[in-house]
Chain A
Amino acid sequence: MAMDELTREFLIESQEGLDRMERCLTELEERPKDAELIGEIFRAVHTIKGTTGFLGFTRLEKLAHAGENLLGLLREGKLVADRPIITGLLSLLDGLRSILKSIEVLENEGEGEDTNLIGRLEELQEPRTVQTPAPPETRILAVAGATIVAKPRSRAKASASAAVPPSPPVPTAPTPLAHAAKPDATPAPMHAQALAPEPEHEIATGAVTAKNPGTAAGTAAESTLRVDVTLLNRMMNLVGELVLTRNQVLQATAADPNMRLLSRRLDMVTADLRESVMKARMQPVSNIFSKMPRIVRDLSQSLGRRVRLQLVGQETELDKSLLEAIKDPLTHAVRNSLDHGIEPPEVRGAAGKDPEGTLLLRASHEGSHVVIEVSDDGAGIAVEKVRQKAIERGLITQDRAGQLAERELLQLIFLPGFSTAAAVTNVSGRGVGMDVVRTNVEKIGGKVEIESRPGKGTTLRLRIPLTLAIIPALIVHSVNQSFALPQGALSELVHIPPELAAKAIEWIEGTPLYRLRGKLLPLVFLDRLLMPGIQHKATTDRDNFIAVLNADGRQFGLVVDGLADPEEIVVKPLSAVLKSIGLYSGATVLGNADLALILDPGAIALRAGVTMSAEDEAEHAEEGEIEAGQATNPEYLLVEIVGRKAAVPLKDVLRIEQLPLSRIEYIGYRPVLNFDGQLLPIEDAGGILTAAQGDPLGAEVNVIIVVCREGSRQVGIAVSHVLDVAAGSDLFEGGSSQPASGVTLLKQRVTGVVDLGGVEPLPAVEAAADEWAEAVR
């Protein structure tokens, strides 16, 4: 496009100015007398006006001029920024944006009339006595307040029409007065413009502009420089290449004392350079957070909600591309919160809540991740509704739904085609909600978590990696190849030499297990997984290295033939064909110039069928899979309860806790365990806890609790020892194919199956009133 440099610069500057203006406007609504905010908005509009005259954009100049007049009065204190004025200024903002957009795309100001908007802005300059929207009693007041009073309805229509983006800027509507009678005629198409993706070809490096929106922005210009994102991307790629070359140089020169100093220097410089380039790509989350006040404002008006938006941790920085990638999911989450989460004021009032809901957006660092939380204090997610809906939509079988715990049921809302909204609104509820959020976030290596308490609200947590490009990884060997294992998932390494393998690796029906500090760790042999159907070396003929991995709450050991050094690897994307294998998240070039595939621990766990935790079960549920294999040949955790052997269905075992007796508390006579705020009733049939209290070690003596899932609750079983994991048919000679946990089964066997359903619920559960009782359920 042959746009001259001056115009291009003008566009970027103006867009930045308008972004600032938008931020300030929403703030102004809260602090209508803040002179600094008004000054900032005035400057933005004034700058546009000044430059347009010079560049000859008359349409833009006229509109900006009208806005400037209004803003001038505000600045002089002759007017107070009440809601109609702010709404008017927002329309001005949209109007200016749409013209700028037209200049950028079409290279002219576009066909359009702004007399409406200008008229309205002029009207607003008339001094009025209104501060708050008044009921349309008198005609004059109605004119002034119309924009707001009539808003909820017409806005809804406006966003419906907004689904068809870039519409021709401003319709030619009659006279200003007639326009006042039908309020939102103008904003509608403009709204569409605002929703259309904004051009962001260039970014300003440095965080100054956004850290303190509205105030420090003006002074930042001197010390910052605009850099094209494509250039930054290229730099990042080159740095990646340099890191690879450095790795190769380091390996090649390791033996040469003369080169060592040089290569160490190269190492340092590369690391520094890498960090700097990465930093250059970082932008504060306020860049996307700042779009939210407007969205919340518009939506809460169209939905008739009252919402207070809180933004926390705006200065948290994230890679530019990642920031771009979470913009849509975040917007979606905010929309969801407003539509499904926060109730209308009447409902809230009736429930004894503050009629004004709170929506909190919080960004923070957590290890190598940035966590972005969207939490509301709304109605929460009705788990039962989710269950029904999932069955209705055929996403899950009735049986399966019955078995799922609350937490797992919540995961169902991430399934494609799921929506609990009774009616499809144009805000959300089309059933393309949360699955899109999750796919988008997972696409960039992030995770989505959801927490919800009925009546208390919902928290959606997006866990985003800091960067995508370079990750620390351990290089492992298997099937005569190198693979990279992301360090993030790796918790420890265990070496089992061939002579010990026979003892250390235990087998149950072809399932290898390793006792890691008393806990049974399921093992996955990488060679068997990658090359099924081939005879592999027995564990006793080779070294076995167990990489203990934690992936999405599943813990398992990945057995490989050999280990190499950890390396910082540059993630290279794989082609779609290879991605669809599902086990590799990318590839990389190693220091020795070999290629290595990057293993995806979560996918491996899933492929190998590692099932130990709630999340895992939920994953299976998502796939609509019923674990037929387990149903016909159930596995049991074999435990000893005071000299007597008992079996707990393995599919119900969530985890095994070894903890000091002091952690066990009592409600009346009932022992309970407070685990992360959740109370578990503990079944102590053998009197283990009672016996332990007599122990000379006192409260420090350790007890073992098997935490199990029973229906929608969790219960703990106090046991003396955890012995083994065994398949049902082998362990029990009767070989019943009935699923576990029944009193009848218990009676039939020498080794009884612990009847989890028989564990008495806590007395408080029945009361079901207190907050903590809900936590148990």
Chain B
Amino acid sequence: MSQVQSEGGRRKKAQATLVEMCSVRLGQGLFAVPISHILEIVGSARPQPIPLAPSFVGGLVHYRGDVLTTVSMRHLLGMPPREGSQDILVLEAAGGCFGLLVDSVCEVLTVSSDDYEPNPSILDERHRALFAGAYKLKESLLVMLDPERLDPMRLGAVQAA
């Protein structure tokens, strides 16, 4: 993940080894998405449920004149659904935009690729499919989420298979 380009970022880093990450919280866990993939953060949304949709779909939200399909990160992690509103990261993937439902969006962290480690081999299959390694922070681990792997189209295909 060291070559993440900060197309969307305002500042281009002089050193390519520094990456800006938007950290999000899900339950007790801290996860992150490279900010270059984030189009927008929508706070306190209540997605409209969609009957008969695949279970990972968190619902629909109105987003800039379009309807956005959201993916429930909680569901993907096998966590129980959360009462009340959630934050949405609007992400851009090859298949189009989608929303990622998280408990709350935290700060933007700048991490160095020196601290990066790929997924550990003992990580179970399901999580390995969702994570793209982790950054070792002082206090904790920052688990990387890969927007491409969270694309609902891809998740749908995986589920169907």
A binds B: yes
Q: Do A575 and B48 form a contact, CB below 8 Å, given A237-B65, A595-B61? A: no
In whole angstroms, how far apart are the Cα atoms of A434 and B150 in the complex? 36
Count of chain B residues with a beta carbon within 8 Å of a chain A beta carbon: 22
Q: Let me know if A481 and B49 touch, CB within 8 A.
A: yes
Query: Per a CB cutoff under 8 Å, which of A481, A530, A575, A593 touches B69?
Result: A575
Q: Do A576 and B61 form a contact, CB below 8 Å, given A531-B51, A583-B52, A595-B48? A: no
Interface residues of A in 574-614 (CB under 8 A from B): 574-578, 580-581, 583-584, 587-589, 593-595, 597
For A576, what are the chain B residues with a Cβ–Cβ distance below 8 Å?
Answer: 95, 152-153, 156
Q: Let me know if B67 and A572 touch, CB within 8 A.
A: yes
Count of chain A residues with a beta carbon within 8 Å of a chain B beta carbon: 25
In whole angstroms, how far apart are the Cα atoms of A577 and B69 in the complex? 9
Q: Let me know if B57 and A578 touch, CB within 8 A.
A: yes
For the complex, is B50 an interface residue (Cβ under 8 Å from A)? yes
0/1 string, A549-579, CB within 8 A of B gives 1: 0000000000000000000000011111110
0/1 string, B47-75, CB within 8 A of A gives 1: 01111111001001110011101000000
Q: Let me know if A578 and B62 touch, CB within 8 A.
A: no
0/1 string, A294-334, CB within 8 A of B gives 1: 00000000000000000000000000000000000000000
Q: Let me know if B67 and A587 touch, CB within 8 A.
A: yes
Query: Per a CB cutoff under 8 Å, which of B51, B52, B65, B152 touches A575?
Result: B152
Q: Let me know if B52 and A530 touch, CB within 8 A.
A: yes
For B53, what are the chain A residues with a Cβ–Cβ distance below 8 Å?
Answer: 577-578, 581
For the complex, is A13 an interface residue (Cβ under 8 Å from B)? no
Report A404 CB to chain B, min CB distance, Å: 31
For A572, what are the chain B residues with a Cβ–Cβ distance below 8 Å?
Answer: 65-67
Report B28 CB to chain A, min CB distance, Å: 29
For the complex, is A67 an interface residue (Cβ under 8 Å from B)? no
For the complex, is A164 an interface residue (Cβ under 8 Å from B)? no
In whole angstroms, how far apart are the Cα atoms of A240 and B153 in the complex? 26
Residue among B57, B67, B98 having the largest count of chain A Cβ atoms under 10 Å? B67
Q: Let me know if A241 and B69 touch, CB within 8 A.
A: no
For B52, what are the chain A residues with a Cβ–Cβ distance below 8 Å?
Answer: 530, 581, 583
Residue among B65, B96, B152 having the largest count of chain A Cβ atoms under 10 Å? B65
Query: Per a CB cutoff under 8 Å, which of B48, B49, B54, B65 touches A577?
Result: B54
Please give me the residue from chain B that is nearest to A586 by CB atom.
Answer: B67
Report A315 CB to chain B, min CB distance, Å: 33
For A584, what are the chain B residues with a Cβ–Cβ distance below 8 Å?
Answer: 50
Q: Let me know if B69 and A574 touch, CB within 8 A.
A: yes
Please give me the residue from chain A that is nearest to B48 by CB atom.
Answer: A595
In whole angstroms, how far apart are the Cα atoms of A580 and B50 in the complex? 12
Q: Let me know if A580 and B69 touch, CB within 8 A.
A: no
In whole angstroms, how far apart are the Cα atoms of A383 and B128 in the complex? 55
In whole angstroms, how far apart are the Cα atoms of A240 and B67 in the complex? 13
Q: Let me know if B48 and A594 touch, CB within 8 A.
A: yes
For A530, what are the chain B residues with a Cβ–Cβ distance below 8 Å?
Answer: 51-52
Interface residues of B in 62-114 (CB under 8 A from A): 62, 65-67, 69, 95-96, 98
Interface residues of B in 130-149 (CB under 8 A from A): none
Q: Let me know if A574 and B156 touch, CB within 8 A.
A: no
For the complex, is A731 an interface residue (Cβ under 8 Å from B)? no
Please give me the residue from chain A that is nearest to B71 by CB atom.
Answer: A577
0/1 string, A50-74, CB within 8 A of B gives 1: 0000000000000000000000000
Report B98 CB to chain A, min CB distance, Å: 7
In whole angstroms, how far apart are the Cα atoms of A424 and B143 in the complex? 56
For B155, what are the chain A residues with a Cβ–Cβ distance below 8 Å?
Answer: 577
Interface of A, secondary structure class, is mixed
For the complex, is A479 an interface residue (Cβ under 8 Å from B)? yes
For A594, what are the chain B residues with a Cβ–Cβ distance below 8 Å?
Answer: 48
Q: Do A575 and B98 form a contact, CB below 8 Å, given A241-B65, A589-B62, A595-B61? A: yes
Please give me the residue from chain B that is nearest to A240 by CB atom.
Answer: B65
Q: Let me know if B60 and A587 touch, CB within 8 A.
A: yes
In whole angstroms, how far apart are the Cα atoms of A577 and B57 in the complex? 9
Please give me the residue from chain B that is nearest to A576 by CB atom.
Answer: B153
Report B158 CB to chain A, min CB distance, Å: 11
Q: Let me know if A597 and B153 touch, CB within 8 A.
A: no
For B60, what are the chain A residues with a Cβ–Cβ distance below 8 Å?
Answer: 578, 587, 595, 597
In whole angstroms, how far apart are the Cα atoms of A253 and B51 in the complex? 32
Please give me the residue from chain B that is nearest to A572 by CB atom.
Answer: B67
Report B7 CB to chain A, min CB distance, Å: 22
Report A600 CB to chain B, min CB distance, Å: 12
In whole angstroms, how far apart are the Cα atoms of A578 and B95 in the complex? 13
Q: Let me know if B67 and A577 touch, CB within 8 A.
A: no
Report B97 CB to chain A, min CB distance, Å: 9
For A597, what are the chain B residues with a Cβ–Cβ distance below 8 Å?
Answer: 48, 50, 60
For A240, what are the chain B residues with a Cβ–Cβ distance below 8 Å?
Answer: 65
For B49, what are the chain A residues with a Cβ–Cβ distance below 8 Å?
Answer: 481
Please give me the residue from chain A that is nearest to B159 by CB atom.
Answer: A577
Please give me the residue from chain B that is nearest to A479 by CB atom.
Answer: B51
Q: Let me know if B62 and A581 touch, CB within 8 A.
A: no
In whole angstroms, how far apart are the Cα atoms of A268 and B91 in the complex? 38
Please give me the residue from chain A that is nearest to B56 by CB atom.
Answer: A577
Query: Per a CB cutoff under 8 Å, which of B51, B62, B67, B95 touches A574?
Result: B67
Report A274 CB to chain B, min CB distance, Å: 15
Interface residues of A in 86-122 (CB under 8 A from B): none
For A581, what are the chain B residues with a Cβ–Cβ distance below 8 Å?
Answer: 50, 52-53
Report A537 CB to chain B, min CB distance, Å: 16
Report B148 CB to chain A, min CB distance, Å: 15
Report B21 CB to chain A, min CB distance, Å: 26
Report B106 CB to chain A, min CB distance, Å: 27
Q: Let me know if A575 and B96 touch, CB within 8 A.
A: yes
Please give me the residue from chain A that is nearest to B155 by CB atom.
Answer: A577
In whole angstroms, how far apart are the Cα atoms of A593 and B63 in the complex? 12
For B62, what are the chain A residues with a Cβ–Cβ distance below 8 Å?
Answer: 589, 593, 595
Q: Let me know if B65 and A481 touch, CB within 8 A.
A: no
In whole angstroms, how far apart are the Cα atoms of A576 and B54 in the complex? 12
For B48, what are the chain A residues with a Cβ–Cβ distance below 8 Å?
Answer: 481, 594-595, 597
In whole angstroms, how far apart are the Cα atoms of A594 and B48 in the complex? 8
Q: List 13 A-B contacts (CB under 8 A).
A: A237-B65, A240-B65, A481-B48, A481-B49, A572-B67, A575-B152, A577-B153, A577-B155, A578-B60, A581-B53, A588-B67, A593-B62, A595-B62
Seed contacts A572-B66, A573-B66, A593-B62; 16 additional CB < 8 Å A-B pairs:
A240-B65, A241-B65, A479-B51, A481-B48, A530-B51, A572-B67, A575-B96, A575-B152, A576-B152, A576-B153, A577-B152, A577-B153, A581-B53, A588-B67, A597-B50, A597-B60
Residues of A within 8 A of B (CB): 237, 240-241, 479, 481, 530-531, 572-578, 580-581, 583-584, 587-589, 593-595, 597
Instruction: Kindly list the 7 A-B residue pairs having the minimum CB-CB distance in the complex, ordered from nearest.
Output: A530-B51, A575-B69, A577-B152, A595-B48, A587-B67, A577-B156, A572-B67
